[in-house]
Amino acid sequence: MSQVGIVSRLSTHGGVTFTVNTAVTDVALILTGSPDLSVNGTIMNLQQGDNCTIEGFSLQLPYQFGQGKFDVNVDGDPAFFQLGWRDNAGNNGSVNEVGDTGLINIPDPNYWYETETFLPQPATVADKWHLEIIGLGGWVSQIYAPAVLDQEELHAAIHLRIRHTLPLIA
Amino acid sequence: MSLPIKLPISARPTLTSNIFTATWNNPTLNRYDFTNVAGNQDQTVIRMTGASVYVIERVNFSATIPEGVFQESIDSAISVPQLIFKTDKTDSPIFDRPQPFINFVDNLEMLLFVPGDQSDDEIQVTFQCVLNQVPATVGIVTIKAFLQLNVYEVENTDWTRRFFYNPDDTIGDLQLRGGARRLRINEGTFG
């Protein structure tokens, strides 16, 4: 069956950062709030009644970071993010159709992972709704980090590609 | 399989076509709802003239999504997809009950005789079906379902006269097979 429908590439705009520290081997990714997955920085919502399929995701780090080491602890566990949903009435929760309560492992940064995950509209949703990042775990390698960036706060971003039926609305 | 039937050579075959449409979320949220769309109700299958007999001989049914996806999408909690046939003027069903269609059929044979009792009558069909959205239908706004019948119109005088033959005058006589007129015995004068 041919692929049909609307494809949207969503990403976080802010809210995922780390601070360069050339004195250590790695620093933690920091999640601030629960950044929305949006288009060009504007929250774009799925209409009530719409379902979607998550087709792929990626965590984007600034160039050269994460090449030497990217995990959550010394055991080498992969970094992860947690996907959630929120409607305009404030109802929210984790996207339980994905992994363990929305947890998705990221084996490597800056790499696009394909998936086919059907995401029905949350049962309790009121009106429009969107996806957001509600959890994050990861350490970014500082080996060979440029001295000129020491103590600079750098941004990372999470990207998602979804296929859905109805147009996104603001 | 082949159902035996002998039609006069003057019988005219007609291929009918009916298309039913459902739109995601409209009018029912989170569903492809064929049932509550006015355009899917009482569609004309074929117009009938009086004194002719119409023989539904073959049925085709399909949709714009693969058959397995269609089956997976059926919201059986509401109902199974079904077609309801009736005649317009008498508003009487030509099958005893709605006909379920839970799979696609290609050249399904059947023999149903529908007499054109009244002039300017017609056979009408209503499609009732509610589908869920499943992974394979994400992105699909509209689903269409297709019904095609092969209908023979028989206006041969001898053949139709036997079909319409009223057995009331002949005790215990059998009538030619037909949906609307079945075996009747004149009980009033029997014995």
Residue keyed to tokens 């059998």: B174
**Domain assignment of residue A66, given as a range:** 17-164
CATH 2.60.120 domain residues, chain B: 12-155
Give alpha helix (H) positions in chain B: 67-73, 157-164
Q: Tell me, yes or no, whether A85 lies in a domain.
A: yes
B36-61 per-residue burial string, b: 16 or more CB within 10 A, e: under 16: ebeebbebebbebeeebbbbbbbbbb
Find out whether the peptide bond into B27 is cis, omega within 30 degrees of 0.
yes
CA A91 to chain centroid, in Å, comes to: 20
Q: Do A52 and B138 touch (CB under 8 A)?
A: yes
> CA A130, CA A104: separation in Å to the nearest integer?
18
Q: Do A5 and B133 touch (CB under 8 A)?
A: no
Confidence of residue B25 (pLDDT cuts 50, 70, 90): very high
Give the mean pLDDT of A84-108: 89
Cβ-contact B60, B146 below 8 angstroms: yes
Q: Tell me, yes or no, whether A169 lies in a domain.
A: no
Give the mean pLDDT of B149-176: 68
Q: Tell me, yes or no, whether A47 lies in a domain.
A: yes
Q: Do A1 and B138 touch (CB under 8 A)?
A: no
Q: Tell me, yes or no, whether A60 lies in a domain.
A: yes
> CA B172, CA B187: separation in Å to the nearest integer?
9
From residue A23, give the alpha-carbon distance in Å to each of A26, A142, A147, A151, B188. Answer: 9, 8, 10, 10, 110
- The 10s digit of each residue's pLDDT in B138-155 is 999 999 999 999 999 988
Domain count, chain A: 1
Minimal Cβ distance to B138: which of A47, A49, A53: A53
A132-170 per-residue burial string, b: 16 or more CB within 10 A, e: under 16: bbbbbbbbbbbeebeeebeeeebebbbebbbbbbbebee
Distance from CA of A56 to the nearest CA of B (A): 15
Strand, helix or coil at B137? helix
A:B CB pairs within 8 Å: 46
Residues 35-54, chain A, touching B (beta carbon < 8 A): 47-53
Is A167 near chain B, with CB under 8 Å? Answer: no
Report the share of chain B in percent with pLDDT over 70: 84
**pLDDT value at residue B179:** 46
Confidence of residue B18 (pLDDT cuts 50, 70, 90): very high
Contacts of A164 in chain B (CB under 8 A): 138-139
Residues 107-146, chain A, touching B (beta carbon < 8 A): 116, 118, 120-121
Rounded to the nearest integer, the mean pLDDT of chain A is 88
Q: Which fold has domain B12-155?
A: Jelly Rolls (2.60.120)
Confidence of residue B182 (pLDDT cuts 50, 70, 90): very low
Confidence of residue B42 (pLDDT cuts 50, 70, 90): very high
Q: Tell me, yes or no, whether A156 lies in a domain.
A: yes
> CA B48, CA B15: separation in Å to the nearest integer?
14
Selection from B151, B149, B125, B148 nearest residue B55 by Cα = B151
Q: Quick check: A26 pLDDT over 70?
A: yes
Give the mean pLDDT of A25-45: 89
User: In a mutagenesis test of the B interface, which of A7, A47, A51 is the best target, namely the one with the most B β-carbons within 10 Å?
Assistant: A51
Q: Do B29 and A49 touch (CB under 8 A)?
A: yes
Tell me which of B29 and B187 has the higher pLDDT.
B29
Distance from CA of B137 to the nearest CA of A (A): 8
For A83, which DSSP code?
E
- The 10s digit of each residue's pLDDT in B66-96 is 999 999 999 888 889 999 999 998 888 888 8
> CA B67, CA B16: separation in Å to the nearest integer?
21
Q: Do A165 and B133 touch (CB under 8 A)?
A: yes
Minimal Cβ distance to A118: which of B138, B140, B141: B138
Confidence of residue A74 (pLDDT cuts 50, 70, 90): low
**pLDDT value at residue B186:** 42
**pLDDT value at residue B10:** 86
Q: Tell me, yes or no, whether A90 lies in a domain.
A: yes
**pLDDT value at residue B185:** 43
**pLDDT value at residue B172:** 45
Q: Do A163 and B134 touch (CB under 8 A)?
A: no
Q: Quick check: A108 pLDDT over 60?
A: yes
Q: Tell me, yes or no, whether A10 lies in a domain.
A: no
Minimal Cβ distance to A165: which of B29, B69, B138: B138
DSSP H/E element including A1: none
**pLDDT value at residue A79:** 85
Q: Do B66 and A1 touch (CB under 8 A)?
A: yes
Q: Tell me, yes or no, whether A12 lies in a domain.
A: no
Distance from CA of B63 to the nearest CA of A (A): 13
Confidence of residue A100 (pLDDT cuts 50, 70, 90): confident
Is B136 near chain A, with CB under 8 Å? Answer: yes
Confidence of residue A97 (pLDDT cuts 50, 70, 90): confident
Is B64 near chain A, with CB under 8 Å? Answer: no
Is A63 near chain B, with CB under 8 Å? Answer: no
Cβ-contact B143, B26 below 8 angstroms: no
